[in-house]
Amino acid sequence: MSVIGIDFGNESCYVAAARSGGIETLANDYSLRATPSVVAFDGKKRIIGVAAKNQQVTNMKNTVSGFKRLLGRKFNDPHVQHELTSIPARVEARGDGSIGFKVNYLEEDQHFSPEQLTAMLFTKLKETSAAAMQTQVNDCVIACPIFFTNAERRALLDAAQIAGLNVLRLLNETTATALAYGFYKNDLFEEKPKNVIFIDFGHSALQVSACSFTKGKLKMLASTWDQIGGRDFDLAVAEFFAKEFQERYKINAKTNARANLRLLTEIEKLKKQMSANSTKLPLNIECFLEDIDVSSSMQRSQMEELCAPVLQRVEQTFKRLLAESKLQLDDIHSVEIVGGSSRIPSVKQLIEQVFNKPASTTLNQDEAVSRGAALQCA
């Protein structure tokens, strides 16, 4: 029997386990390491992960994503209301004020809570890990954002329980990252402390921490965060293209949920290409709305302009961490980056500006959190 470490991301999940002396990130039923945090219902079938994401555009009403940030909260919570503006599924308040995702399943309308949806996702992770390791999986360590409240943590534990997972520990994502780093670096055993900054920039959050390693012991000096992530870049760019298409083609992408989702999907792809490329890149969507094909382009500098307010908040978060950690720039050994959005070049530039060190990629940017969680129980 094996213990797994789970990184439950707002966009995707990773699972790792200690195996034959090392830590391994496990592949799912599509031979992929990332399992999208998406659950869908189709007639009598429940579809989870890669397959769910693949059919989202054609089954929008019964496909649910973005539920991580709704755990343990009531429908009327302003945070929930804000989250709902970017969730395409149907979400309603239940009689007791809780959140219900409305889907058609087993030929009737049903409501599922964020906890139940998370449990379905966890069940899938449990099954795919058991298949990958060819052994039963019951125990796990789950990583959660450092800013999760007690209610959010309790909801996560409830979800794990519904999925039949025994949670040995909930671990902050920031701590998981630091543990993953400590495991691979063998120069951290010196008398003199080594101070390392960890930056996790994901889909929905930016979490930054300062840690000190002395003789292999890890001490958290400071942590800070902001509720911004990759999706905020996508939204800023989507706003721009929606306006352009309105002017050029007289179509309003925002009035159509499917068009909006397709636009955001294409923009996310474009954004990733822009991370590697500074030239102008095309954006083409066939039969976007009213049978009209749309085409446009964008280059990195333009995206940076559109996303200036997000980048400003990134910079402020970095500066806050530096101040709270009380570290001098010379005291910092390295700045390690994880999370998909840390690949954005202007984020790396800000790291260099604020911390006077280039962003370092010692860790696997996608898998570090799950690996740290797996290490905690190894």
Show which residues are catalytic: 7, 68, 173, 200
Q: Which of 349, 269, 278 is nearest to 314 (CA)?
A: 349
Considering only CA atoms, which of 28, 228, 92, 251 is closest in space to residue 147? 228
Task: Report residue 146 CA to chain centroid gap.
Answer: 13
> Of the two residues 132 and 200, which places its CB atom closer to ligand ATP in the complex?
200
372 part of the interface to ligand ATP, by CB under 6 A:
no
CA 85 to chain centre: 18
Is residue 7 within 8 A of residue 176, CB to CB? The reply is: yes
Q: How far is CA 365 from CA 17, 140, 186, 199, 227, in A?
A: 17, 21, 20, 10, 19
Instruction: State the nearest-atom distance from the C-beta of 14 to ligand ATP, in Å.
Output: 8
Shortest Cβ 58–ligand ATP spacing (Å)? 22
Size of the site for ligand ATP (CB under 6 A): 21
Say whether residue 202 binds Mg ion (CB under 5 A).
Answer: yes
Note whether 223 binds ligand ATP by CB under 6 A: no
Using CB under 6 A as the binding rule, whether residue 340 contacts ligand ATP is answered as yes
Beta strand pairing status for 166-172 and 22-25?
A: unpaired
Which residue among 3, 6, 9, 229 contacts Mg ion (CB under 5 A)? Answer: 9
Interaction partner, residue 83 (ligand ATP, Mg ion, none; CB < 5-8 Å by kind): none
Helix and strand numbers, DSSP H then E, in the chain: 11, 19
Rounded to an integer, what distance in angstroms lies between the CA atom of residue 70 and that of residue 64?
Answer: 12
Judged by CB under 6 A, the chain residues 74 through 113 that form the site for ligand ATP are none
Regarding 336 and contact with ligand ATP (CB under 6 A), the answer is no
CA distances from residue 225 to 119, 210, 317, 331, 339 in whole angstroms, order as listed: 26, 12, 6, 21, 14
Residue 205 binding ligand ATP, by CB under 6 A = yes
State the binding partner of 371 from Mg ion, ligand ATP, none, CB within 5 to 8 A by kind: none
Partner touching 229 among Mg ion, ligand ATP, none, CB below 5 to 8 Å by kind: ligand ATP
Quick one: which segment of 19-27, 48-56, 227-235, 236-244 binds ligand ATP (CB under 6 A)?
Answer: 227-235
Alpha carbon distance 137, 44 (integer Å) = 26
- Give yes or no for residue 10 binding ligand ATP (CB under 6 A): yes
State the residues that interact with ligand ATP by CB under 6 A. 9-12, 68, 202-205, 229-231, 268, 271-272, 275, 339-341, 343-344
